[in-house]
Amino acid sequence: MTNDLINTILPYAMNWADLLLRWLHVIVAIAWIGSSFYFVWLDNSLEPPKAADLKAKGVDGELWAVHGGGFYNPQKYMVAPRNLPQHLHWFYWESYTTWLSGFALLCVLYFYHAGIFIVDPRVYAWSSPGLAVAAMLGFLVVGWLVYDGICRVFGQGKNGDRTVGILVAVYVVLAAWLACHLFAGRAAFLIIGAMLGSSMSANVFFWIIPGQRRVVAAMRAGQTPDPMDGKRGKQRSVHNTYFTLPVLFAMLSNHYSFVYDAPNNWLVLVLMMLAGALIRQFFVLKHKGVWKWQYWLVGVAIILGVAIALAPKPQPVLASAEPVRFATVQHIVQQRCLLCHAGPAAQKGVRLDAPQDIVSHAQAIYQQVVVLKAMPLNNATQITELERAEVASWVKAGAKP
């Protein structure tokens, strides 16, 4: 196999791996988040049973619902039914598959292209991409250890949940600041989301499912379950529901350079995650019948404030007696853009290796190169401000071939 064939097939294969892993990750994440949101809603919507037979069975709450043409009557027992069924459905593979597919996607998309996607010399000059990859892995491990340690040490007592919430929030702010000063903005946002997402899955793996297994085993053996297993599992489950919207924002943000490349991008990330947590709090309380609109309003106000602060400014046209010729723009594109936008495996399917491609994508080039300055990614090809201005002048003059 020739080098030319390898250079063609390998990027194509990696694009397929990216697509399929992203597809799997979204599917299983929907399943995990959907079941998590459903059970939080269910817990907060159950009503005390009125029928004597349900009370006699130990039912603590029930709900009647209609969906898809059928009626459902979920019931929650105070501890468990007297005769524990042999078959129990466990909700955990959704969590594990979400983490495994997400980590595989991180490897394929970021670790494989670490020199471009993770390292930005303008942010921090890593001596090698490998060290940057190791540091990102460190965020995942240390993030879980710190979070878990906070829950273990401060999670008990009357004000334990509030103390844990404050300390975890402080740690996330510090981690976001550090990540945005070590990695390219896109990678920094992603690794903070991955750090919280890893803690969510670790909660399921290390605490929620093992605790439930111990409870079931004790009941089958005729023993009294340890109440702490239920309390810890509930606490970690509640944490997971508040992590969800911040994690989703961090994961989706890598498609929007105006947030991760913004000045003080760590503050943008923190504020948007805070907005997500506040909006989630509104819905959690709403499920209990408590309408606290201030949480939703503050969350939306934060989002609007960030959007206004990041609004792009008008770009000046290059002051020159001579109009910028297409040949000049084509030369800039060849030098600065073809690293990622040439051939069948061009990033996001955007090819710029032919004159007609440059003309047809003129507005997108202007938006990404001039307005947002998101491309070249992390300015890996060292485009200059003069070159950006030349592209702007050519587009504003009509983007003529």
Contact 257, 224 (CB under 8 A): no
Tens digits of pLDDT across the chain (401 residues) = 466 556 667 777 887 888 899 999 999 999 999 999 999 899 889 999 999 989 888 899 999 999 988 999 999 987 778 788 888 889 999 999 999 999 999 998 899 889 888 998 889 999 999 999 999 999 999 999 999 999 999 988 788 899 999 999 999 999 999 999 999 999 999 999 999 999 999 999 999 999 999 999 998 888 888 888 888 998 999 999 999 999 999 999 988 888 998 899 999 999 999 999 999 999 999 988 899 999 999 999 999 999 999 987 776 655 555 788 888 888 888 888 877 787 766 777 788 888 888 888 888 888 888 877 778 877 777 788 888 888 888 888 888 88
Q: Closest by alpha carbon to 182, among 122, 250, 107?
A: 122
| Residue 361 three-state SS | coil
Domain ranges of the chain: 92-309, 326-396
Residue with tokens 């929030």: 169
Q: What does the block give as tokens for 294?
A: 């201030």
Render 3-35 in DSSP notation, one character per residue: HHHHHHHHHHHHHHHHHHHHHHHHHHHHHHHHH
Query: Long-range contact list for 13-22, CB < 8 A, 24+ apart?
Result: 14/108, 14/112, 14/345, 15/345, 17/108, 18/105, 18/108, 18/109, 21/101, 21/104, 21/105, 21/108, 22/105
Q: What does the block give as tokens for 319?
A: 């002051």
Name beta bridge partners: 47. Answer: 62
